[in-house]
Chain A
């Protein structure tokens, strides 16, 4: 008998959570007025989206019942809330980098983003991190400029030739 925490990680648990979420989503769709609006050829606007959600529910239910239901995927075995948080933080940091890059400029903020990212991932020499970050930034900037893709110049727009 699996404990609840373990059960949620196995295919049956994943299928169960997916089914619940999808049923809730289907109810939300059915309650939306646009779904039932008819278009020129007689189909409702929501016919295909609802069909896709119904298919998702059917296959999620199969996941709960089929012969693989007791198996746990390798990734979920080692998955922790901390690793999930790490992933979300990287995504937020990247979005922050992108937002700042549009204002300040690619050449200024990218070395800083790379420096901290490289250091966090395990290269423990600040000097090596800084050199790598600057070299990578310059190479990527040169490559993108060479193929005609303009990267945000930011506050350097006055001095940059491209």
Chain B
């Protein structure tokens, strides 16, 4: 499986000033995106996708992976500074982080969040590097029927685990299947579902869909909120942030960092496992790690403003970043929105993620592994140097930010192909995404099923051709297919239990917070 020649090529791809430059830009923008409440890693990656079109594959991956890692950590900055998590995955950091801020130990808390994030992220990236290749090798033995069941497994997990309402998650996944069927039929190439619109005959392009669902819809929601709340001045108590903003605030010592090893280990183990399962996401990882760490060491008084609480939550969410790419690299199935966006970027570069990726493009996979590891160093450096500056980003008025992102989303969707209809699509999907947001229908299942539906359809049709249109023989003809059907049931059960535990931990913390 290991190819020395490919590794040499990967070094050539990776060790260029361009890759390092874009990785630094990615992390810088990512931490900023994470630190601003209302923006998420997905919004940032969606906005940056059109930019990657002008790059070669390694700088593009450097930019997106850097942005992803930076944003997951960046969420903790506003969680600690104003008790407003910049991203949902940082919500568990609020409990101890904000209490530390009020005690005047904000700088310590932010540095603990950074150290725990980077440590867990690096270790989980190593897990990814060790686990993905053997899994991809095993997946090479899969035939069309097994690949079809693999996609069904992903649909079931992603649809049932995203959001709090099972039916809404599955509606979103079905909507993704529906949108993916617009365009040419994969066997005959005859256009279908185009509603007589000629520019839909090539199908729905990925970038306008992503920009619409993640950038325009979010900004539309923020604009409407701002229009409704016009005149209500939000005052942030900057005085509380003194411990973070002043240079004199005490920083994290190495001894304090080492003291939290147990919480970081819990975060790493839980986060890596949760990240590997499609659909659960880093928020569940953070809350589960926080809950387990709290129960494992009651004497540490996690929840009362201690560094261990920040370490558990932050290592739990950042440890999902690497493993979320395992299903993408091994099976071609993205496990989260961010993984889907990175998969989309790989597709735009002509390297479609699939089990054959290790065979067809090993140099890209190795370069991606190198980027995963090295981006952590950038995350640490940039987060450490500009931590105080990022804390101020949360104070940026939304009335400036929203128009800027709206404008960037519009020109981004146009710049991708120079096609004005892409802007129409982005705006339409922006409205659709807004509708889904207010109805609390999760968007992750839509994106992931949109990406994997062509694979599912092609494999089902191939399996039926092989079995001469015998459906039972095609779908249940091999022990591996039956095994995958059983695995779908078992994994869905385990994941639902994990999700339940994560949600229970979240509501327990909320209740405790309110009672205080």
Q: Mark A58-99, 1 if CB is under 8 A from B, else 0.
A: 011011001010000111101100010011101100110111
State which of A52, A95, A101 has its C-beta within 8 Å of the C-beta of B178.
Answer: A52
Contact A121 B403 (CB under 8 A): yes
Contact A56 B171 (CB under 8 A): yes
- Interface status of A46 (Cβ within 8 A of chain B): yes
Q: Roughly how many angstroms separate A48 CA and B189 CA in the complex, as a whole number?
A: 14
Contact B228 A83 (CB under 8 A): yes
Q: With A48-B457, A73-B438 in contact, do A63 and B227 touch (Cβ < 8 Å)?
A: no
Contact B407 A147 (CB under 8 A): no
Q: How far is the CB of A82 from chain B (nearest CB, A)?
A: 9
Contact B227 A41 (CB under 8 A): no
Q: Which residues of A contact B236 (CB under 8 A)?
A: none
- Interface status of B193 (Cβ within 8 A of chain A): yes
- Interface status of B414 (Cβ within 8 A of chain A): yes
Q: With A55-B177, A79-B438 in contact, do A45 and B469 touch (Cβ < 8 Å)?
A: no
- Interface status of B399 (Cβ within 8 A of chain A): yes
Contact B440 A74 (CB under 8 A): yes
Q: Mark A18-45, 1 if CB is under 8 A from B, else 0.
A: 1000000000000000100101111101
Q: Which residues of A contact B170 (CB under 8 A)?
A: 55, 59, 62
Q: Which residues of A contact B438 (CB under 8 A)?
A: 73, 75-76, 79
Q: How far is the CB of A71 from chain B (nearest CB, A)?
A: 8
State which of A88, A91, A99, A114 has its C-beta within 8 Å of the C-beta of B407.
Answer: A114
A-B contacts, 20 of them at CB < 8 A, read A11-B165, A15-B167, A39-B187, A41-B465, A42-B469, A52-B175, A52-B177, A62-B166, A68-B165, A68-B167, A73-B438, A86-B223, A87-B431, A87-B434, A90-B406, A94-B410, A102-B420, A121-B398, A121-B403, A144-B415
Contact B439 A14 (CB under 8 A): yes
Q: How far is the CB of A65 from chain B (nearest CB, A)?
A: 9
Of B266-274, B372-380, B422-430, the one touching chain A = B422-430
Q: Which residues of A contact B399 (CB under 8 A)?
A: 118, 121-123
State which of A49, A83, A95 has its C-beta within 8 Å of the C-beta of B224.
Answer: A83
State which of B185, B190, B224 has its C-beta within 8 Å of the C-beta of A87.
Answer: B224
- Interface status of A7 (Cβ within 8 A of chain B): no
- Interface status of B115 (Cβ within 8 A of chain A): no
How many chain-A residues does the 8 Å CB contact rule pick out? 63
State which of B227, B400, B453 has its C-beta within 8 Å of the C-beta of A86.
Answer: B227
- Interface status of B292 (Cβ within 8 A of chain A): no
A residues touching B (Cβ–Cβ < 8 Å)?
11, 14-15, 18, 34, 37, 39-43, 45-46, 48-49, 51-53, 55-56, 59-60, 62-63, 66, 68, 73-76, 78-79, 83, 86-88, 90-91, 94-95, 97-99, 101-102, 106, 110, 113-114, 117-118, 120-123, 132, 136, 140, 144, 147-149, 151
Contact A149 B51 (CB under 8 A): yes
- Interface status of B349 (Cβ within 8 A of chain A): no
Q: Roughly how many angstroms separate A9 CA and B172 CA in the complex, as a whole number?
A: 18
Q: Roughly how many angstroms separate A46 CA and B227 CA in the complex, as a whole number?
A: 43
Contact A149 B415 (CB under 8 A): yes
Please give me the residue from chain B that is nearest to A84 by CB atom: B224
Q: Roughly how many angstroms separate A59 CA and B410 CA in the complex, as a whole number?
A: 33
Contact A39 B431 (CB under 8 A): no
Contact A122 B226 (CB under 8 A): yes
Contact A113 B407 (CB under 8 A): yes
- Which bucket holds chain B's interface residue count? 35 or more
Q: With A117-B403, A140-B408, A149-B51 in contact, do A95 and B427 touch (Cβ < 8 Å)?
A: yes
State which of A18, A42, A87, A122 has its C-beta within 8 Å of the C-beta of B171.
Answer: A18
Q: With A43-B461, A94-B427 in contact, do A34 and B398 touch (Cβ < 8 Å)?
A: no
Q: With A123-B400, A149-B51 in contact, do A53 and B178 touch (Cβ < 8 Å)?
A: yes
Q: With A46-B192, A52-B178, A91-B220 in contact, do A106 and B411 touch (Cβ < 8 Å)?
A: yes
Q: Roughly how many angstroms separate A145 CA and B460 CA in the complex, as a whole number?
A: 45
Please give me the residue from chain B that is nearest to A150 by CB atom: B415
Q: Which residues of B contact A63 (CB under 8 A)?
A: 165, 167-168, 171
Q: Roughly how many angstroms separate A41 CA and B438 CA in the complex, as a whole number?
A: 42
Q: Roughly how many angstroms separate A76 CA and B438 CA in the complex, as a whole number?
A: 6
Q: With A49-B192, A98-B420 in contact, do A149 and B54 touch (Cβ < 8 Å)?
A: yes
Q: Roughly how many angstroms separate A103 CA and B218 CA in the complex, as a whole number?
A: 28
List the 3 shortest-distance A-B pairs measured between CB atoms, nearest first.
A75-B438, A117-B403, A52-B178
- Interface status of B294 (Cβ within 8 A of chain A): no
Q: Which residues of A contact B168 (CB under 8 A)?
A: 11, 63
Q: Mark B382-403, 1 if CB is under 8 A from A, else 0.
A: 0000000000000001111011
Please give me the residue from chain A that is nearest to B406 by CB atom: A94
Q: Roughly how many angstroms separate A122 CA and B424 CA in the complex, as a whole number?
A: 27
Contact A118 B400 (CB under 8 A): yes
Q: Which residues of A contact B404 (CB under 8 A)?
A: 114, 136, 140
Q: Which residues of A contact B434 (CB under 8 A)?
A: 87
A-contacting residues, B424-473, CB 8 Å: 424, 427, 430-431, 434, 437-440, 453, 457, 461, 464-465, 469
Contact A59 B457 (CB under 8 A): no
Q: Which residues of A contact B283 (CB under 8 A)?
A: none
- Interface status of B338 (Cβ within 8 A of chain A): no
Q: Mark B216-237, 1 if CB is under 8 A from A, else 0.
A: 0000110110111011000000
- Interface status of B181 (Cβ within 8 A of chain A): yes
A-contacting residues, B193-208, CB 8 Å: 193
Please give me the residue from chain A that is nearest to B164 by CB atom: A68
Contact B190 A45 (CB under 8 A): yes
- Interface status of B352 (Cβ within 8 A of chain A): no
Q: Roughly how many angstroms separate A92 CA and B438 CA in the complex, as a whole number?
A: 20
Q: Which residues of A contact B431 (CB under 8 A)?
A: 87-88, 91
Q: Roughly how many angstroms separate A98 CA and B419 CA in the complex, as a whole number?
A: 12
Q: How far is the CB of A129 from chain B (nearest CB, A)?
A: 9
Contact B177 A147 (CB under 8 A): no
Q: Roughly how many angstroms separate A59 CA and B170 CA in the complex, as a whole number?
A: 7
Q: Which residues of A contact B414 (CB under 8 A)?
A: 98
Q: Roughly how many angstroms separate A68 CA and B221 CA in the complex, as a whole number?
A: 24
Contact B439 A75 (CB under 8 A): yes
Q: Roughly how many angstroms separate A98 CA and B457 CA in the complex, as a whole number?
A: 36
Q: How far is the CB of A79 from chain B (nearest CB, A)?
A: 6
Contact B190 A73 (CB under 8 A): no
Contact A144 B177 (CB under 8 A): no
